[in-house]
């Protein structure tokens, strides 16, 4: 890792256990910097990597990665100024049109994202938008269900990275399309909750181009000593602000050219 890690191994493991407990038993915890005020972004990724190691050791399969906090709207909403990444496992995937339980989540929110599925491996540093597009098999519309484990969604970047970028669930759907058939910068997106429009946006909200967000993700992966294998599922970041959901809500994300993704939330 080329990031600045200040925490010792014991603290990293302790914090990963704390985040894992909050994620798997769905309870809110204070942000980690309350106890470790000098925690760096590198420390956040060290805790996230330990969390990933623990999940994989207990049988979860890594299926891809997510870019987070990639739009101005999200950075403003959350009071941070640098994007982040998190990992995705098979246990977080939910089928399209399905019922998603909220009993095992703290305070879920939904965001519309363009997802990429890769056919070639990518590695940084120096990964570019063009390299991402050349390595992409197809893109599809997706909804990320984020669920910060921090009380009141109050956190800073180091804490949210340790909490795996608030990753909780994700749903891919709609129509898979080849990236060269579309202008990925200008796709319009509408988010509906119970038939009411609760968010609108254009895919350019994500760092100007969703593939730029994926390139950024690959470059951060290089900093933590990882690469993106072929066959990865990558979410490029929320296009609209995140919207809270509760049991009884149904959500439809409509993407121009890519179709829609639906789900409902239950106890
Ligand atoms: O995917 C995201 O942009 C979420 C980043 C983490 C911040 C949050 O919990 O909203
Ligand atoms: Mg997201």
Domain 9-266 has CATH 3.90.850.10: yes
What's the pLDDT tens digit per position in 196-230?
Answer: 999 999 998 888 899 999 999 999 999 999 999 99
Judge if the beta carbon of residue 141 lies within 6 A of ligand 1.
no
What's the pLDDT tens digit per position in 92-118?
Answer: 999 999 999 999 999 999 999 999 999
Q: Where are the beta strands (DSSP E) in 69-225?
A: 84-89, 99-101, 109-118, 136-146, 167-172, 188-193, 196-202
Nearest atom (ligand 1) to Cα of 69: 3
Query: Ligand 2 centroid to 267 CA: how many Å?
Result: 22
Nearest-CA residue for ligand 1 atom 4 is: 68
Judge if the beta carbon of residue 143 lies within 6 A of ligand 1.
no
Query: What are the tokens at 196?
Result: 């009411």
Instruction: Tell if the pTM clears 0.85, that is, is over it.
Output: yes
Residues 183, 106 contacting (CB under 8 angstroms): no
Nearest to 141 by CA among 241, 263, 235: 235
Judge if the beta carbon of residue 50 lies within 6 A of ligand 1.
no
What are the structural domain ranges in the chain?
A: 9-266
Instruction: Evaluate the omega torsion of the peptide bond into residue 32 and state whether it is cis, within 30 degrees of 0.
Output: no
φ/ψ (deg, to 5) at 33: -70, -10
The closest ligand to the CA of 74 turns out to be 1
Judge if the beta carbon of residue 165 lies within 6 A of ligand 1.
yes
User: What's the distance, CA 258 to chain centroid?
Assistant: 19
For the chain, count helices (H), then strands (E). Answer: 6, 12
d(CA 226, CA 218): 8
| pLDDT for the residue numbered 80 | 82
């Amino acid at each position: 890792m080329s990031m600045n890690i200040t925490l010792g191994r014991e603290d990293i493991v302790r914090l990963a256990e704390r985040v894992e407990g909050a994620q798997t038993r769905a309870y809110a915890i204070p942000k980690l910097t309350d106890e470790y005020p000098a925690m760096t972004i590198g420390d956040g990724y060290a805790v996230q990597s330990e969390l990933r190691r623990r999940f994989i050791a207990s049988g979860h399969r890594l299926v891809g990665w997510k870019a987070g906090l990639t739009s101005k709207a999200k950075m403003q909403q959350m009071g941070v100024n640098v994007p982040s990444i998190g990992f995705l496992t098979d246990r977080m995937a939910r089928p399209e049109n399905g019922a998603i339980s909220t009993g095992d989540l703290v305070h879920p929110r939904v965001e519309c994202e363009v997802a990429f599925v890769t056919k070639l491996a990518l590695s940084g540093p120096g990964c570019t938008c063009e390299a991402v597009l050349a390595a992409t098999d197809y893109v599809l519309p997706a909804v990320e269900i984020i669920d910060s484990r921090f009380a009141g969604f109050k956190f800073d970047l180091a804490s949210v990275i340790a909490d795996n970028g608030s990753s909780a669930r994700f749903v891919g759907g709609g129509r898979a399309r080849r990236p060269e058939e579309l202008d990925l910068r200008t796709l319009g997106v509408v988010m509906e909750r119970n038939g009411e429009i609760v968010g609108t946006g254009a895919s350019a909200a994500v760092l100007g181009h969703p593939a730029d967000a994926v390139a950024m993700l690959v470059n951060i992966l290089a900093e933590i000593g990882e690469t993106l294998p072929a066959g990865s599922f990558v979410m490029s970041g929320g296009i609209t602000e995140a919207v809270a959901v509760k049991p009884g809500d149904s959500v439809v994300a409509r993407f121009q050219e890519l179709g829609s993704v639906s789900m409902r939330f239950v106890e």
